[in-house]
């Protein structure tokens, strides 16, 4: 199973290298381990995260693409869909099948047709437009809904931290 996963990950890496999406650079942390990748994501323009450069780690299971990777922000980031420990909570990263809570349809969850590129574009999308209705970080979700200006100030602070200023 791991052999098929490595083959798939190598193909995805090649595609990302030849035609990278704007604002994203990604690849294995080392040539010896294709199951752990690092990705740099540029904060989307006209969003509270504009100008930031955020480091993420993708950890792939041995049965990838049958199951999704985990994605974690290394930098501190104050965002409704990112847990305080940096783990990202988006539908595309949830295991395939029916949602036990009934919140998501099975079509929104992981399927083997997804890719690293689609995952990273989904993360870029939530940076631009958070889903505050289903927050992983309740404080960020509440602030985003109830006091947007304060949310923007906190988000901008994480942008400055991501740049080391």
As annotated, the active-site residues are 89
Q: At what angle do helices 116-128 and 2-18 cross, to 10 degrees?
A: 60
Half-sphere exposure of 43 (CA within 13 A, CB side): 23
Do the beta carbons of residue 83 and residue 77 sit within 8 Å?
Answer: no
- From residue 54, give the alpha-carbon distance in Å to each of 8, 92, 100, 127, 134: 25, 20, 31, 11, 22
Do the beta carbons of residue 39 and residue 23 sit within 8 Å?
Answer: no
Torsion 47-79-154-139 (CA) sign: positive
Please name the residues in contact with 32: beta carbons below 8 A apart, sequence gap of 6 or more: none
Two tokens, residue 98? 């029916």
């Amino acid at each position: 199973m791991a052999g098929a996963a490595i083959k798939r990950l190598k193909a995805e890496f090649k595609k990302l290298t030849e035609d990278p999406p704007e604002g994203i650079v990604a690849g294995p942390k080392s040539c010896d381990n294709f199951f752990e990748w690092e990705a740099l994501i540029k904060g989307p323009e006209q969003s509270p995260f504009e100008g930031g450069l955020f480091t993420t780690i993708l950890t792939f299971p041995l049965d990838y693409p049958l199951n999704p990777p985990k994605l974690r922000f290394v930098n501190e980031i104050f965002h409704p869909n990112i847990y305080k420990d940096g783990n990202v909570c988006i539908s595309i990263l949830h295991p395939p099948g029916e949602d036990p809570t009934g919140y998501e349809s099975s079509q929104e969850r992981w399927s083997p047709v997804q890719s690293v590129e689609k995952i990273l574009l989904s993360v870029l999308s939530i940076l631009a437009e958070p889903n505050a209705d289903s927050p992983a970080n309740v404080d960020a979700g509440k602030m985003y809904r109830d006091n947007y200006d304060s949310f923007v100030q906190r988000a901008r602070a994480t942008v400055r931290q991501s740049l080391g200023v």
